[in-house]
Amino acid sequence: MRRGFLIIILLFLLVNLYTSVKVEYNSQLSSEIINTEYINGIEYFNVFELNKALKAQIKEDIIDQRLKVNIYGEQIIFLLESSYLSFGTDIYNTKFSLISKGDKHFLPVIFLKEILPLLYPEKIEFSNNKIIADTPVDKSIRTIVLDPGHGGKDPGAIGYSKNNYEKDIVLKIAKTLKKDLEKNLDVDVFLTRESDEFISLQQRTLFANQCGADLFISIHINAHPNKKAHGVEVYYLSTAKTDDARAVEALENSVVYDYEGGEKAVKEYDDLAFILADMAQSEHLEESYQQALKIQHSLVKHTKARDRGVKQANFYVLRGAFMPAVLLELGYITNKEEEKKLIKFSYQDKLTKAIFEGIKDFKYKFDQMQ
């Protein structure tokens, strides 16, 4: 009898420790569950549950001690360790403070039941412990464009042996990476080229914009007069800061002069339209930097190659990309030993897996915390 009573008490405590709020939509979208838990006797939920249920973009501002949550294109600002939030010019009080535990932030459930319907009266209502909401705006990464560098009349970097070309290796890697991404992540992946053909740098970026890409990754292999140069590095768009970065920038941008029409073509890339396009890309510099960090870390981890770091350079192929964009240099084909590795399927497989993991980690973070 006593044992049965203790079991009932235990079940009661467990039920009240972890509960939930159901979210239904005014559409055919399947319902979601916001998991809740009791903290110091008050029902709370992890703020990232809002990403799952309402496709919220969440960003923590440590300097200003704020948590910014964007739902339906409008921003809610929470003060860390406070019960106050702002929405537009209005201030609201959730009665119980936001609680932070490491990188997790918990909001009182009263926010779901009372505050959220006030903020979005035409989109959200709460009744019978259930949220009824308009279909949320999904800004997660759904479309990725992979850009195998060079191609056709432009071989790219030529190997130490003079028998292997950058254009062939990066195309193989891009094709395998496309399959892996589409198989394992909920994304559509497009290639700027699927065969040995020449595509101008401008056309590559234009293609990514036309696809509505959420991410643009240009894949390359490096070259250097110093045959001992080796290692991997990832770039994002900005002014080159080092001599090495300027050298790689000049190498990749020389495609325009060599294969797209000489000085006239270079001038077209440097005209006002592209300067303005660079300004548009600046909106995505932080995301581009974060993506570069993820991929670089993964490349070094999987290949054990020399870590040449994340760098900045003014690559023509990244100009005008209206999404996070990075350029990968997967090794030096002009290095005798690195060339031997780069042409092997087993090493190409390591590179592909590394890039995949970097993209996956970035997508997971980006989808929650744009």
Domain assignment present for 129: yes
Q: What CATH number is attached to the domain comprising 15?
A: 3.30.457.10
Residues 192 and 106 in one domain: no
Residues 153 and 112 in one domain: no
Residues 128 and 211 in one domain: no
| pLDDT < 50 positions in the chain | 9-17, 240-241, 250-252, 256-258, 261, 266, 271-273, 276, 370
CA–CA separation, 342 and 223 (whole Å): 13
Domain assignment present for 60: yes
Of the candidates 211, 210, 220, 221, the one whose C-alpha atom is nearest the C-alpha of residue 189 is: 211
At 349 the pLDDT is: 97
At 263 the pLDDT is: 56
Domain assignment present for 83: yes
Residues 268 and 335 in one domain: yes
Q: What CATH number is attached to the domain comprising 245?
A: 3.40.630.40
At 147 the pLDDT is: 97
Residues 124 and 262 in one domain: no
At 182 the pLDDT is: 97
At 1 the pLDDT is: 53
User: Number of structural domains, the chain?
Assistant: 2
Using alpha carbons only, give the angle 251, 255, 259 rounded to the nearest 5 degrees: 150
Domain boundary, last residue among 105, 133, 161:
133
Residues 124 and 176 in one domain: no
Domain boundary, last residue among 78, 109, 133:
133
At 12 the pLDDT is: 46
Domain that holds residue 127: 3-7+11-133
Residues 331 and 352 in one domain: yes
Domain assignment present for 288: yes
DSSP 289-330: HHHHHHHHHHHHHHH---EEEEEEE--GGGTT-SS-EEEEEE
Using alpha carbons only, give the angle 107, 50, 363 rounded to the nearest 5 degrees: 125
At 208 the pLDDT is: 93
Residues 86 and 186 in one domain: no
* 41-99 pLDDT tens trace: 999 999 999 988 998 888 887 788 899 898 988 889 999 999 999 998 999 999 999 99
Residues 111 and 150 in one domain: no
Residues 122 and 215 in one domain: no
Domain assignment present for 321: yes
Domain assignment present for 138: no
Domain assignment present for 84: yes
Residues 111 and 149 in one domain: no
At 140 the pLDDT is: 85
Domain boundary, last residue among 74, 105, 133:
133
Residues 212 and 80 in one domain: no
- Exposure of 308 by Cβ count < 10 A (0-12 exposed, 13-18 middle, 19+ buried)? buried
